[in-house]
Structure formats: C-alpha cells, structure tokens
Structure 1
C-alpha cells in the first residue's frame, strides 16, 4: 500500500512539473535572448580576430538562401577554446534555433533562424515535389506578383491553406511558391506591422533587412521585398533551396 502511495506522489509531482513548464517554455521552445546572442557574438568576434578575419562557419552551397548561408560552426569555436557548449536553445542541443551570421563581410552579426519553420517548409517541399513528379509542373495557385504564386492547397489535397507560425509575431503566415515551385514564407504581414509601428512610409532596399535589424531572428526562405507607393512588392526571385 505504501508503495502505491509513493508511486502516486511521484506521478502527481511529474504532472505538476509538466503544468509548471508547458510546451512553449521547454528548452527547445524558448526564444533566444540577448545574453545568448551576445555570448555567441563575442565568440565569433574573438575567433575572427585570432584567425585573420576568418569566420567560424559551416560550408554551404552558393544557392543557399542568404540568411542561412553562414551557419555558425560551434565545433570550431570549441576546438579553438573560445566557447564550450552551444546555447541551450540551439539546434545542436535539440533546440529550435540555428545560429547564423549575417553581413559576413562587414559586422558579422549573429542572428538565429527558426528551425521549426525550415522543417515545415522542407515537408511542404516534399509534397510539392511529389505533385510535380505526377503532373510535370508545381501546384501553382493565383499569381501574387511576377514569379510568385499562391500555393494551390487543393492540388496538394490540403483542407486549408498551408501556413507557418511567424517567428516574430507568432501569427500564422501563408506559404507561397516561386516560379521554380519552391515554397517560401510570405512575411508581408509582419513587415506591414513593423512599418506601422515605426512610422515608416519610405524605405530603400530589401525590407527583410528591416526585420533583421529589429529582431534577433532572420526571415529564412523568403522572397526579397521592397516598398513601392506604400505597398510591399516581391522582387525578382532569388534561387532558394530547402535542403
């Protein structure tokens, strides 16, 4: 009888612990924070200074999307005795974020890419390729801008449009495809919200840079965007890969 009581207490303790730490607060769901970013940023700068400007990054193909083209190689930092373990929320430790470098020729700023979004797109890309193998063309929906289309979810036998959760606002964002049939995230709602919050009516250059400046996350797998007459327009598509 006493053994059953002990088991019951242990079970109750585990249940209470689970309630105290819901899914969105577990390590792999924790958002990045300034301390983690600063720690990695200092490690990158130290490595760069000690290695004649070289960066501790993994090799990626030229076609890799620009914001995830320079992932940080934590093994290199560890071997150089600059940094021990990667941050707790990093992909290398089972977390939700891949640490990357943007502007490698200049500031070499450390940011993170939401791996959950990348994994969703990889799954969608698999379905697109299955459809293309049967039909010889991607599941194009209505054209949004030149070379960009809505994703025809009916063709993919999806009951509802495919969406991903924004790493910035946690709102649902549409998945679109470019002329090559590759899935991308439509970050326009996030950018419109940011433009409104900051009172920006004119902006020269790629609006994705505005997201990178404002947030620690990068808009991986997204089309270049510019502001024209108050409207966000997708630029001529980049080559994007979901490898």
Structure 2
C-alpha cells in the first residue's frame, strides 16, 4: 500500500483526456451542463427534482436517477444525449446532494455490468462449495482479492473511468463484490496535495474531480496516509 504514495497517473482537471489506455472515453461536459440546467429549471418551476423513485436501500451512487424522458417530453431538454441509457448509451445520469445542492453526475453502466458479471460467478462458486468463497489475499481488513481461476473471472477486466488503468475487484466476507478505486483516489489526492477532508469518505474527492461517480464501491477513509476501503459490518 505504501507504493500508492508514489503513484502519479496523468489526470486532467475534469479527468477526460481524448484517449485513455484500455477503453474509449466520452466527453460528458456538454451533456452534464445541459442536463444540469434542465434540472435547475425544473426544480425552480415544479418544486421537486426530476428523478425516478428508488428504494431507500439503493446505494447513493445509483439512487437518484434523472427522468430524462420526462424532461424531454416537458421541453426542458431538446433531446436526450446519445450517451444516455435511454438512447442506447452506456450511462445513467444521476443527481447527488439532492437536498442541499442537486448536482448532475454520470454512472458508468459498463462498470456496473462487469461487477455484476463477477458477482454472478462468485455467487455460483459459493452455491457450489457450501458457502465457501473464491478468496485470494486479504488486502484490506475484512476485504479480499478474488481468486479469478477459482471464480472463473480471469477474462473479466475493468478499466477505470477515471484513469483508464485496469483496476481490481474486491470482495467482503459475505461474497459481495466491489470495485477498488484506491489508485484513482490516491491519484486525485496526490494531485490536490491531500484529501479534501481527512475524516470524510474519500470518494468525495472523486466526486469533485470528475463527472463520474465511483459506482459499486465502499467508503474509503484516510488511514496511515493512505485511502483504505471500509468493509461492511
């Protein structure tokens, strides 16, 4: 983990270079700007946010999905961005900070799908081995790497939406799968000269640095000068 202190991935201010290693990128700047304006106008005129209802247990980075179809039908946006799921794209547009400062962000569906693919394999392994898990090493307290040979996930690779670098999947003691954003978080922290708030969830640093949300992740705390994901209780 100490090696993280020396990582210096090349990230622009909005984290959208024209080309990233391992995956193509989409510039969401104009789409987010346009949808943010529509959300602001809708909230001012209607008194509520244009969101699709979600279960209370839905994770924060998946919860408040914007109802783009409704915004389009009511004339708040001329058309729905081609990158949106509603138009066959690979992203949901979400709202964060819904009570204090509603902010439009992007949820990458490729990341979600690959986590779901790994989760399916881990669940199959667990069912076939009496509750046992395809555990690799314990890389954080209560969190483990996944033995890809045992799980049958060796061909499932995930490139970060932030850096384009390949990033790993991790698993808790119950077999729940997450993305490990530690490298991306450390990169932003290095660039900023330190975390925004040392006592806060460090995913906030990624929120502020990019249009993307760190979907399928755990909270990260700053411990011994490093970001450490926190296993569920």
Tell me the TM-score normalised to structure 1 length: 0.79
Corresponding residue to 1:51 among 46, 50, 74: 46
SS of the equivalent of 1:204 reads: coil
Match of 1:166 among 156, 160, 170: 160
Gaps of 5+ in 2: 1-18
Structure 1 position 159, deviation (Å): 4.5
* Matching residue of 1:147: 142
The alpha-carbon deviation at position 97 of structure 1 amounts to 1.7
Instruction: Give the alignment partner of residue 199 of structure 2, picking from 191, 195, 204.
Output: 204
For the pair 1:108 / 2:107, whether they are aligned, the reply is: no
CA distance in 2, matches of 1:197, 1:103: 24
Correspondence list, 1:76-87, <5 A: 76-87=70-81
Residue 128 (1) aligns with residue 122 (2): yes
Distance 1:152 1:62, change over 3 A: farther
| In 1, Cα distance between equivalents of 2:86 and 2:133 | 33
Q: Which structure has greater helix proportion?
A: 1
Give the Å deviation of 1:215.
Answer: 0.6
Is the 1:175–1:183 contact (alpha carbons within 8 Å) kept by the matching residues of 2?
yes
Q: Secondary structure at the match of 1:164?
A: coil
Q: Tell me, yes or no, if the aligned pair for 1:224 and 1:237 is still in contact at 8 Å.
A: no
1:183 to 2:177 alignment: yes
1:32·1:89 contact (CA, 8 Å) conserved in 2? no
CA distance in 1, matches of 2:119, 2:231: 20
Q: How many residues align?
A: 210
Contact 1:163/1:175 (8 A) holds in 2: no
Q: TM-score, normalised by structure 2?
A: 0.83
3-state SS, counterpart of residue 158 of structure 2 = strand
**Is contact 2:121-2:153 (8 Å) kept?**
no
Cα root mean square deviation, aligned: 2.1
Higher relative contact order (CA 8 A, sep 6+): 2
1:16: which partner in 2? none
The answer to whether the aligner puts 1:70 opposite 2:64 as a matched pair is: yes
Q: Give runs of ≥4 in structure 1 deviating > 6 Å.
A: none
Q: Matched residues in 2 for 1:74 and 1:41: separation?
A: 11
Per the TM alignment, residue 106 of structure 1 is displaced from its structure 2 partner at its CA by: 1.3
Instruction: Name 1:39's counterpart in structure 2.
Output: 34
Taking the aligned partners of 1:171 and 1:158, their CA distance within structure 2 comes to 18
State whether residues 32 and 216 of structure 1, in contact with CA within 8 Å, keep that contact through their aligned partners in structure 2: no
Per the alignment, residue 97 of structure 1 pairs with 91
C-alpha separation in 2, matches of 1:223 and 1:122: 15
Deviation at 1:30, TM superposition (A): 4.7
